[in-house]
Structure 1
Amino acid sequence: MVFPEKALTRLLAAAAAVLAAAAITSTAVAAPPSTPVYDSKGRIIQTPFAPAQVAARLTEQRAIRLFLADDKVADWLSRYPRKNRRVSATYESNPQRCTAGTAGGCWNLRVDWDPAGEIASGRVDDRAARITEAWTGAQVAWKMARGGKGAFGGAKINSTSVWLGFCIVFLLGLAEYRRPLSWRNLDLLMLLSFSVSLWFFNHGNVFASVPLAYPPLAYLAARCLWIGCTGRAVRGRVVWPYWVLLAAAVFLAGFRIGLNIEDSNVIDVGYAGVIGAQRIAAGQSPYGHFPVEKSLKACGAADAEGEIRDRIQTNGRCESANPQGDTYGPVAYESYLPGYWIRGWSGKWDDLPAVHFTSIAFDLACLLGLALVGLRFGGPLLAGALPFAWAAYPFTQYVSSSNTNDALPAAFLIWGFWLVTSAWARGIFVALSSWTKFATLVVAPMWLTYPELKWRPRRLLAYAGGFALATVAAFSILLLEPSPLHAAHVFYDRTIKNQIDRESPFSLWDWRQYHARGIPNLHVVQYVLEGLLVLGAIAFAFVPRRKSPLQLAALTAALLIGFELVLTHWFYLYIPWFFPFVAFAFLAPSGRADPQPEPAG
């Protein structure tokens, strides 16, 4: 059957009209936006629907009484005198700016007391007359102190089944079955005992989680000091053959990759890596050029708190803000360049495939490096045990699932340890690790004098030359700026000075900021421990005069743990900095202590 041309034209026109009408209708019934909608250039393309103002049912005084009567709030406020305490409440009629699930408006509460400042905050549901949020102490300023599974690493790694699964596999693979009450088993349990502290952190109890992190840190430091000073390996032997451990490590590596891809998140640390890589690729130093909010033109929607992160930056791009991301060493950004070149970056804090790529790559680099270290210094059994330990240890997966840069310094040191008999390699890899996160600088003097304290100018110059070469290469990005001297000053302000001046509730040393009764001021203790750490870093360059690989690994772990013990801001993501060397110290067999000799010089 053949349609006349005019009839066919009319039929198509009618169909187009029907489709257009359907599109208009669907647009008309679609839910209006609650915040402005912007295009990629920051232009408003749709204005928000302004909901009708809902009058408050509670009075300000009633909302305040409800908030102050909360057990958690009352307990914290009991640490402060009533004199000079100020309580305020403001009504918010838009439920989208209240706690999720709020039907009507809400009251925003805050309590201030000088000199501590804001000491409590929260929200009260106006219709239900109940508290929906109550934050005290560290939770007021630090959202990460409020708890909640999945904020770091996603839901899976923080689930009880997955976390305990890693712990059980770790113990089953490395435990000493013939001697249950052995040092080996206690060492393994202490490595896993950080999980108790993490549990309290996930439940928002910082004042319990922080103190619980110090006993395992102190124990591991003491054990590594003992092994490093005596040179005695831990008694015991892994019961499984090396091929079983290697097969398990390969299986776990695949599981870890899947966990990273399917159920992980990227926190600000990992996001900073790809921002820095983009800046370098664009011919700019990262320092002082990270995306900020300030008063820049918005190009995205507001979050639940009313904050708009997406802003048009000075480079003309719409980017999600990360103003404090340029606080790491240059290698922390240069390491993300391959991932950026391969996977790119949209400018937004989205899935960030380049960050996932880098996290997985360095996780695998640690696994491979540990296998080579084990093969060189302990034979096939240690070559299976070390990568298995990394793959099964839950805190290394915690880093991978959080997609941070904390596997980078460990990876560089692992590969430097594999090539430890080369002074050039030691210098290069210590520098790369140090200019990622500055903690590794604490082991630089000891790695300089390895394996023995003798005047060998060629060896010392080779180490210094390797360190200098890697340093120049790392800091060459400052030459991208018009004034390298100014760029160096900005680097210092954004990194070293920023870290020195940093305040944090995630250590025992900075709790004085709360001025609360019963919360100790331990700054003097921190200063003493910092002095001891510096003395230790210098002393271990000279004693023991001759060090085996076992002693070097143990003392490296001890110094890195010591560095973490005195940090003002400590977190579980830092555990993998020292874990490879603790694992070597605890698992290395005796009888393979001496390194291959270096050329005389």
Structure 2
Amino acid sequence: MRRWACAAALALLLAPAAGAATAPSTTTAEAHVATTPAATTTTTDTVGKPFTPIPKSLLSGQQALDRFLAYPKVAAWLKRYPKNLQTSATFETASRTWKLQVWSGRAGEVALGKLDDGSGTVLEAWTGPQVAWGMARGRAGSFGGKVLNSWWMWVSFSIVFFLGLVDVRRLRSLHTLDLLALVSFGISLWRFNQGDVFGAASFGAPPLAYVAVRTSWIGFRGRAFDPALSWPIWLLAAVAVFLGGVRVGLNVENPHGVIDVGFAGVVGGDRILDGEAPWGHMPVENTARSCGAADANGEIRDWVQTNGRCESANPRGDTYGPTAYLVYVPFVLTLLWSGKWDSLPAAHATSIAFDVLVVLGLFLVGRRFGGRPLGVALAFGWLAFPFTGYALNSNSNDAIMPAFLVWGFWLCTSSFSRGAAVALSGWSKFATLLLAPLWLTYPDGFRIRAGLRFVAGFLLATLAAFSILLLEPSLTHAIRVFVERTFGYQFGRDSPFSPWDWGQYHARGIPDLSAVQVVLQLGVIALAGVAAVLPRRKSPLELAALSAAVLAGFELALTHWSYLYIPWFFPFVLLALLLPRSQPVPVSEVAVQETPFLVGSGVP
């Protein structure tokens, strides 16, 4: 009854804002563990066998190290460092394997591996980013599931997306290049799945830069033509429905495909229902008592928490805004949570629900600004683009942010609704807050009355979202913990998944591009400011294009970037490519064509 009472109270608090407008295969973040170099050692285990002679290793520690250091992958990486390396070899009796580690000065641990004592075979060899980041080791299917990541499925989605939206009468056009740039993110993902972090980031940055520049150009200078799509509307709709079913089917058939982000949302929803704010109350490791077995790596995930419950640890799951937890509440309330990182049905349900909300929102946006053909084309674009399916089948929280923005765009003539949408989206993923000046000044610059309505919507939604801080005994303490666990962590994290933080490896041939990142960050801030005032009068096309530009630019300048972030800007790229350049005729006058049509105009 207590949970239902909490849910009812939350519903009352959130009603004004609403009216305004598993065990996974991997995690999206891994802690960097400081390691102290040690001398070569041999460890044994006599627990439970006090009178049994300990079997000796066949190899010495130095022999194991020599074989590991000669392994081609390891040898090639260590050439980037001075010769005065520090090493450690630890014999693990139970598995009869050697754990091998290498350090180099400021770079810290630069190589980690496992070697079989009997055969002398290197079983694992991790170098550079792979040492500290499990997600950098190339485990295909860790995000998005193995089926979607298979080459035939991924290529099929990409081809359908391209063919469905290309203008065959203008193949040699920027519109075609735009679609190819979006699909080209798949090259970066392929390198990521192979464990090539540096290659993945190198292939991921150019399409991000292209999207930011291209949508900026559309926002400031316009688009040359309205593309004519070749597929009839009924075929686009049929394919969209089919692909939607495939995506949901892949999600349901992969019950253990919830990454740590979705798991964090479920835990946060559970904490709210228990009368606690999520920040500072995530399940942690190394408490007084464990309550689960160790995994293949010897790590224990399940620990008894301060609430007396056995729960799977997710200590850094409280890095998001309140919206990212509140949306999970109704699903946790109805589908419950076992306390473990298991199938997490509430995470699956939330991901599917917000994926559907984005599709429905895009259809309504298209119907409003260009008629039913545009609505179907936008919905098709989201459903056919493989990276939106990637986020859906990872069961992350990355569709929440664009869902609120898309629905806010549908209601963009209402200043109050725009303000509420930016707030609810921004308090899920903070990147949206950069859009506040642009959405405030739409459509014809800052006007006091319209500005006050925008601010009222923003503040009301913000107060409703942050009302969960009142669940804590001390509001000031709760605010401090929120800031530390969210902004404090996000601003201070390091990551190899963009080119900007590679200097941390101090490796010869790996550039330190931190200065370039600073320039990009300043450029994004400037872009957000300029977009708010230029052009002075904006159409829906310009609002969408500049929104995409700011979000893509933000992602380009991030230290920690993920393919899961592509859906943040993708709806607005679709709108920038497909919205009509001029004001559309009323929807009732738009003729639905079954021959090639100009998107949004109904003109064959």
TM-score, reference length from structure 2: 0.87
Change in 2 beyond 3 A, CA 1:540/1:423: same
Indicate whether 1:202 and 2:202 are aligned: no
Q: What amino acid does structure 2 have at the position aligned with 1:554?
A: A
Map Cα deviations across residues 100-127 of structure 1 (whole Å, 9 max, x no partner): xxxxx10000001111110101011111
**Per the alignment, in what secondary structure is the counterpart of residue 88 of structure 1?**
strand
Deviation at 1:339, TM superposition (A): 1.1
How far apart in 1 are the matches of 2:585 and 2:234?
25
Deviates more, 1:300-309 or 1:324-333: 300-309
* CA shift digits 1:347-380 (9 cap, x unpaired): 0000000000000000000100000011011111
What displacement does 1:307 show? 1.1
Give the distance between the partners of 1:169 and 1:50, measured in 2 at CA.
61
CA distance in 2, matches of 1:183, 1:540: 22
1-structure distance, mates of 2:438, 2:141: 39
Distance change (3 Å), C-alpha of 1:296 and 1:594 = farther
**For each residue in 1:162-194, what CA deviation from the matched residue of structure 2 results, as whole angstroms up to 9, or x when unmatched?**
111111111121112223222221111110000
Residues 548 and 595, structure 1, Cα contact 8 Å, conserved in 2: no
Tell me what 1:357 maps to: 349
Q: Which residue of 1 aligns with 2:88?
A: 88
- 1:263 offset after TM fit, Å? 2.6
1:391 aligns with: 383
Q: Is the 8 A contact 2:287 2:305 kept in 1?
A: no
Find the aligned partners of 2:176 and 2:376 in 1 and give their Cα distance: 18
Paired residue for 1:373? 365
Between stretches 267-276 and 518-527, larger displacement belongs to: 518-527
- Tell whether the 8 Å contact from 1:548 to 1:594 is kept in structure 2 after alignment: no
State the partner residue of 1:537: 528
> Quick check: 154-163 or 353-362, which moved more?
154-163
Where do 5+ consecutive residues of structure 1 fail to align? 1-47, 96-104, 597-601
1:514-558 CA-to-partner distances (Å, cap 9, x unmatched) read 011111111111112111111111111111100000000000000
**Corresponding position: 1:293 with 2:294:** no
Whole-angstrom distance in 2 between the partners of 1:188 and 1:196? 14
Alignment of 1:584-595 (within 5 A): 584-592=575-583
Greater shift, 265-274 or 287-296, is seen at 287-296
Partner of residue 62, structure 2: 61
User: Secondary structure in 2 aligned to 1:121?
Assistant: strand
User: Partners in 1 of 2:286 and 2:415 — Cα distance?
Assistant: 47
Aligned counterpart, 1:3: none
Q: Does 1:160 align with 2:160?
A: no
Aligned equivalents of 2:418 and 2:288: distance in 1?
Answer: 45
Distance 2:465 2:282 in 1: 19
**Equivalent-residue separation in structure 1 for 2:306 and 2:49 (angstroms):** 31
Which residue identity is paired with 2:289? K
Higher relative contact order (CA 8 A, sep 6+): 2
**Alignment match, 1:240:** 231
Q: 1:217 aligns with which of 208, 212, 219?
A: 208
Counterpart for residue 340 of structure 2: 348
* Cα pair distance change 1:275/1:49, threshold 3 Å: farther
| Structure 1 contact 58–126 (Cα < 8 Å) conserved | yes
Contact kept? 1:56, 1:126, Cα under 8 Å: yes
Please say which of residues 280-289 and 168-177 is displaced more in the overlay. 168-177
| TM-fit CA distance, 1:234 | 4.3
In the TM superposition, 1:548-563 aligns within 5 A as 548-563=539-554
Contact 2:89-2:101 at 8 Å conserved across structures: yes
Structure 2: runs of 5 or more not aligned: 1-46, 588-604
1:448-463 matched pairs, under 5 angstroms: 448-454=440-446, 456-463=447-454
1:593 CA drift (Å)? 6.5
Paired with 1:234 and 1:473, the residues of 2 have a C-alpha distance of 43
Contact 1:156 1:263 in 2 (8 A): no
Q: Secondary structure in 2 aligned to 1:319?
A: strand
Contact kept, 8 Å, 2:370 with 2:585, in 1: the verdict is: no
What SS does the aligned partner of 1:169 have? helix
SS at match of 2:340: coil
Measure the CA separation in 2 of the matches of 1:231 and 1:62.
66
Amino acid corresponding to residue 90 of structure 2 in structure 1: T
Change in Cα spacing, 1:437 to 1:594, as seen in structure 2 (3 Å) is farther
Q: 1:13-43, CA deviations, whole angstroms, 9 ceiling, x for partnerless residues?
A: xxxxxxxxxxxxxxxxxxxxxxxxxxxxxxx
Aligned equivalents of 2:234, 2:434: Cα separation in 1: 36
User: In the alignment, what sits opposite 2:481?
Assistant: 490
1:231 Cα deviation (Å)? Answer: 2.8
Which deviates more from structure 2 when the two are superposed, residues 159-168 or residues 365-374? 159-168
Helix, strand or coil at the partner of 2:131: helix
Q: Give the Cα–Cα distance (whole angstroms) in 2 for the partners of residues 594 and 272 of structure 1.
A: 45
Moved more, 343-352 or 259-268: 259-268
Aligned pairs for 1:111-130 (under 5 A) are: 111-130=102-121
- The 2-side partners of 1:77 and 1:485 are apart by 49
Tell me by how many angstroms 1:233 deviates: 5.4
Matched letter for residue 226 of structure 1: W
Distance 1:75 1:234, change over 3 A: farther
Going from structure 1 to structure 2, the CA distance change for 1:358 and 1:50 (only over 3 Å counts) comes to farther
1:27: which partner in 2? none
Choose from 471, 490, 506 the match for 1:515: 506
Partner of residue 317, structure 1: 309
The answer to whether the 8 Å contact 1:425/1:463 transfers is yes
Greater mean deviation of Cα atoms: 52-61 or 553-562: 52-61
Instruction: Give, in whole Å, the separation in 2 of the partners of 1:486 and 1:595.
Output: 53
Name the count of aligned residue pairs. 538
After superposition, give the CA deviation of every residue in 1:471-499 in whole Å (9 maximum; x if it has no partner): 00111111100001000000000000100
Q: Which residue of 1 aligns with 2:6?
A: none
Output the CA distance in 2 between the equivalents of 1:243 and 1:210: 39
What residue identity is the alignment partner of 2:377? A
Q: Does 1:227 align with 2:218?
A: yes
1:462 deviates by 0.5
CA 1:430–1:72 in structure 2 vs 1: closer, same or farther (change >3 Å)?
same
Offset at 1:148? 1.6
Kindly indicate whether residue 171 of structure 2 is the aligned counterpart of residue 180 of structure 1. Answer: yes
Matched, 1:304 2:296: yes
CA offset digits 1:222-245 (Å, max 9, x no partner): 110111002335442111222321
User: Which letter does structure 2 place at the counterpart of 1:91?
Assistant: F
Q: Contact between 1:550 and 1:593, CA under 8 Å: does it hold in 2?
A: no
Q: Distance in 2 between matches of 1:399 and 1:119?
A: 31
Determine whether 1:106 maps to 2:97. yes
**Which deviates further from its counterpart, 269-278 or 532-541?**
532-541
* Length-normalised TM-score, structure 1: 0.88
Contact 2:222 2:581 in 1 (8 A): no
